[in-house]
Structure 1
Amino acid sequence: MEKSWAALFALCFGFFMILVDSTIVQVAVPSLMTGLPATLNEVFWVNSVYLLTFAVPLLLAGRLGDRFGPRRLYLAGLVVFTAASLWCGLADGADGLIAARAVQGLGAAAMTPQSMAFISYLFPANRGAAMGVWGSVAGLATVTGPALGGLLTQSFGWEWIFFVNVPVGIVAITLVLMLVPDWQPRHSHRFDIPGIVLSSLGLFALVFGIQNGGLFDHTTVAAILATGVVLVVAFLWWQHRNPHEPLLPLRLFTSRAFSFGSLTGVLIGFAMAAMFIPLILYLQTTLGMTPLQAGLFMGPMSVVSAVLAPFAGRLSDRVDGKYIIISGLIAYAAGIGSVALIAQPGLNAWALVPGLLLCGVGIGTIFSPLSSTTIAGLEPRLIGAGAGIYNMARQVGNVLGSAAAGLLMQVASTDLVEAARITMLLPALVLLGAAFTAARMRGERVPAH
């Protein structure tokens, strides 16, 4: 058992790094515009291209891990991510940085499903406790990104947002080689080439159209989104008709826990991305905080989340996880909703702390039981595919939330504070919707391995 926990630590070390990079760029936008230099549109691409290349290949990455071994895929992704981070820091123009971030996303996509698949292998009897650690890392990393980004940008320059990944990545590679077993599920999957092509192109078109819809005219955006819908429908039709082994086993969705858990994951990803954009802009632009101050101001939320996640994971081994999830979602919605309602010019920033701490309580009690409950009951040979779908759902939610928040900030009001308040109410409402979908989950017994 000690070896299992050591292996999980090694996997979470690298997993933390790739999730931090989902939010670390947000507080560095002004520095990137002046330091590269880059236009606002180009800086937007620096963030969105990472989300795109992270989300789109996750289905394929899960199946590749089943076929060639999760440790090998995780290591390959870790090497690619670390090398791309060095490329990011050395980039001397926006185009080079955008290209490097795209490669970073591919590395992250290769790693993510493998960490969840390993938990099912290493902890067949007490998955909830292990998912508690994994959820703690996921929640902490997401809310740590802005704080770490502010610290590095203000102290050393924007390049160090990426350079810091190089030594961390080298340590992570060493830990995986030393501590993680070369588990081989040896599921001899057939590779569904039409499914891979249709799903990749369809998801790319949908995510691209939503994330970057404001950059093109309405006709072009509509055409891109329509193309994505057609390709996704064609993909689902092919998965139903595929006589061999589909990329997306539709029988996964006979599990209510998996179906509604994945949908809940989309809504949570949406809410987290939609929360950070208006909140960080409000703290920096209206309350006059520096990037470092804005990032550190959210530090207590990170600490609360990290402390509670392991306990939530262990508790989900004893009671139906959906009740823990629902409680966390309501707390999270109440926290960000209260911040939205009291935000105004000249506000004493300390008045925001209770709401942010409540957000931390919510985040800390959501990820662990949601991950555990969603994949509980899946057949061992489907866990890789299930982990890929679940993680892809959350990443697509991130893209949708980021795009929706950006659009709402522009159209809600000409007053920045009012626009931020309205936009922060959006994730609060979405989280209440997520509580409804979580209530539809049904706990299922974890299968023996």
Structure 2
Amino acid sequence: MIEERRAWKALGALSLGLFVTLLDQSLVAVALPAIRADLGATLNQSVWVSAVYLLTFAVPLLITGRLGDRYGQRNVYLVGMAVFTLAAAACVFAPSIEWLIVARAVQGFGGSLLNPQPLSIIHRIFAHDRRGAATGVWSAVASSAGLFGPVIGGMLVGWISWRAVFLVYVPLGVISLVMVARYVPKLPTGTSKIDWLSGAVSLLAVLGIVLALQQGPELGWGPLVWASLIGGIAGVVLFVWMQTKSKAPLMPLRLFQTHNFAIGAFSIFGLGFTVYSVNLPIMLYLQTAQGLSSQLAGVMLVPMGIISVVMSPLVGRLVDRLAPGMISRVGFATMIGSMSLMVVMMVSNVSPWWIVIPIVLLGASNAMCFAPNSATALRDVPQDLVGSASGFYNTSRQVGAVVGAATLGAVMQMAVGTVSFGVAMGLAIAVTLVPLACGLFAVTRFK
């Protein structure tokens, strides 16, 4: 551990890059209608602009978390931010939708390299009784990034163009590189091997599942789609079996002997599924079904981001004092209420201004879910497993985001043309109630 004042500076430096990579997942959602019109993309292609980023972001996380242990979290973070920034520059000048999708895949991989590192560093530089407060800041960044994306994106798209959405990453990426190089300390590294074969199996497993969910509506759910889905599920089973045999597992099974980690890793899947996927149907609903401009649609989500940012650090401090799971239960219940209310309003086609109510509730529930879940899940993980724990925890969140984006995208594509556009968006959001209910049940088991 280092002196606490320096630890907070390091956290601030890391949080900027974390904010930028997670901001992307909602920022680009606002630009999709403009991208689709400008580049002549189909609905499926435009969805892939977001989905491919989530895919290449999520799949390597088990490996990139271990890379931080072996080569240094600071070093891997810097490489990841450099890749992310260069790929963002390539997106700015994309001449076609295919070019843009490829550049987005590279950008997602850069985000995957840097994303697990902050949580590992927090648990190495902060004292045990300060990790709740530090994780609260991390959670404020992780949860609010997705909420501010539509606001910033709406303004950039409306005032300049969709290309400005990617251009803004370049200076922010450079600033992050300089700050991390200056403030984040070099920490001791391990020498453990990396199970690349397991990593390849996890990649193919998630790829098979996401491809099936994403392409099913377009291909008519034929034999190839079902083969992809079944193959992906079989890949997950094979990956878990391989972890029991590997001498250097990417997912050490003794991680799950820490009861609260097992609960937290399960429940974060539901949060990732919901928080990082609902922005697309919300923004499409406001802009297409209700006819709002991208700027006004973005402004409507401002209360969500502000509430989440203000509440998260406060909630993080409470986590150090209250019984585990108390705040999480309230948070999950509030998020379920928010999503349910949003579904009713979209299906009923009420005035778009009523949507502000569930938006406010979503901001509050974000703060009450992310910070307590992260702090409780990782607080008691053995020190030698922190890197693996951070990698798996982030993987669970991001795989949730990938599956959520693919699932909601599939529902939207199947529903559009069958029911009204507003009802289609409401049906997509209704899907999130299932993983949220499972998450609520899980956090009642925190000890």
Task: Give the TM-score of the pair, scaled to structure 2.
Answer: 0.94
Structure 1 residues 169 and 356: CA distance shift in structure 2, 3 A: same
Question: What residue in structure 1 maps to residue 306 of structure 2?
Answer: 303
Q: Is the 8 A contact 2:335 2:362 kept in 1?
A: yes
Partner Cα separation in structure 2 for residue 282 and residue 39 of structure 1: 18
Query: For 1:440, what is the secondary structure of its paired residue?
Result: coil
Question: What residue in structure 2 maps to residue 260 of structure 1?
Answer: 263
Which of 50, 53, 64 does residue 50 from structure 1 map onto? 53
Q: Does residue 28 in structure 1 map to residue 60 in structure 2?
A: no
Partner Cα separation in structure 1 for residue 249 and residue 435 of structure 2: 32
Q: Is the 8 A contact 1:50 1:102 kept in 2?
A: yes
Which of 358, 362, 367 does residue 364 from structure 1 map onto? 367
Choose 246-255 or 51-60, whichever is displaced more.
Answer: 246-255
Question: What residue in structure 2 maps to residue 80 of structure 1?
Answer: 83
Q: Give 1:111's aligned amino acid.
A: L
Query: For 1:84, what is the secondary structure of its paired residue?
Result: helix
Q: How does 1:41-440 map to 2 (within 5 A)?
A: 41-125=44-128, 126-184=130-188, 186-216=189-219, 217-242=221-246, 244-343=247-346, 347-412=350-415, 413-440=418-445
Partner Cα separation in structure 2 for residue 179 and residue 376 of structure 1: 24
Which of 441, 445, 449 does residue 446 from structure 2 map onto? 441
How many residues align? The count is 440
Deviation at 1:280, TM superposition (A): 1.8
Q: Is the 8 A contact 1:211 1:400 kept in 2?
A: no
Deviation at 1:157, TM superposition (A): 0.6
Partner Cα separation in structure 2 for residue 235 and residue 52 of structure 1: 18
Q: Is the 8 A contact 2:338 2:361 kept in 1?
A: yes
Partner Cα separation in structure 1 for residue 211 and residue 79 of structure 2: 26
Q: Give 1:261's aligned amino acid.
A: G
Deviation at 1:154, TM superposition (A): 1.0
Q: Give 1:363's aligned amino acid.
A: N
Q: Show CA shifts across 1:233-279 (max 9, x none).
A: 2222221122x222221111122211121110111111224432332
Choose 397-406 or 74-83, whichever is displaced more.
Answer: 397-406
- Identity between Structure 1 and Structure 2 (%): 36
Q: Is the 8 A contact 1:71 1:114 kept in 2?
A: yes
Q: Show CA shifts across 1:357-383 (max 9, x none).
A: 111110111111111111121111211
Partner Cα separation in structure 2 for residue 167 and residue 354 of structure 1: 35
Q: Is the 8 A contact 1:304 1:360 kept in 2?
A: yes
Q: Is the 8 A contact 1:207 1:396 kept in 2?
A: no
Choose 21-30 or 172-181, whichever is displaced more.
Answer: 21-30
Partner Cα separation in structure 1 for residue 228 and residue 414 of structure 2: 22
Q: Unpaired runs of 5+ in structure 1?
A: 443-449
Q: Give 1:415's aligned amino acid.
A: S
Deviation at 1:81, TM superposition (A): 0.3
Partner Cα separation in structure 1 for residue 144 and residue 277 of structure 2: 17
Structure 1 residues 410 and 231: CA distance shift in structure 2, 3 A: closer
Q: Show CA shifts across 1:315-371 (max 9, x none).
A: 001112311111111111112222222336763333222221111110111111111
Q: Show CA shifts across 1:32-62 (max 9, x none).
A: 1222333323222211110110011000001
Partner Cα separation in structure 2 for residue 70 and residue 275 of structure 1: 31
Q: Give 1:419's aligned amino acid.
A: A
Choose 189-198 or 362-371, whichever is displaced more.
Answer: 189-198
Q: Give 2:300's aligned amino acid.
A: F
Query: For 2:229, what is the secondary structure of its paired residue?
Result: helix
Q: Unpaired runs of 5+ in structure 2?
A: none
Which of 13, 18, 32 does residue 16 from structure 2 map onto? 13
Q: Give 1:210's aligned amino acid.
A: L
Q: Is the 8 A contact 1:23 1:142 kept in 2?
A: yes
Choose 52-61 or 338-347, whichever is displaced more.
Answer: 338-347
Partner Cα separation in structure 2 for residue 429 and residue 201 of structure 1: 25
Q: Is the 8 A contact 1:52 1:208 kept in 2?
A: no
Query: For 1:48, what is the secondary structure of its paired residue?
Result: helix
Partner Cα separation in structure 2 for residue 227 and residue 434 of structure 1: 26
Partner Cα separation in structure 1 for residue 223 and residue 146 of structure 2: 35
Partner Cα separation in structure 2 for residue 124 and residue 163 of structure 1: 38
Q: Give 2:156's aligned amino acid.
A: L
Structure 1 residues 404 and 85: CA distance shift in structure 2, 3 A: same
Structure 1 residues 103 and 393: CA distance shift in structure 2, 3 A: same
Partner Cα separation in structure 2 for residue 95 and residue 409 of structure 1: 22
Q: Is the 8 A contact 2:26 2:280 kept in 1?
A: no
Q: Give 2:318's aligned amino acid.
A: L
Choose 408-417 or 320-329, whichever is displaced more.
Answer: 408-417
Deviation at 1:193, TM superposition (A): 2.9
Task: Give the TM-score of the pair, scaled to structure 1.
Answer: 0.94
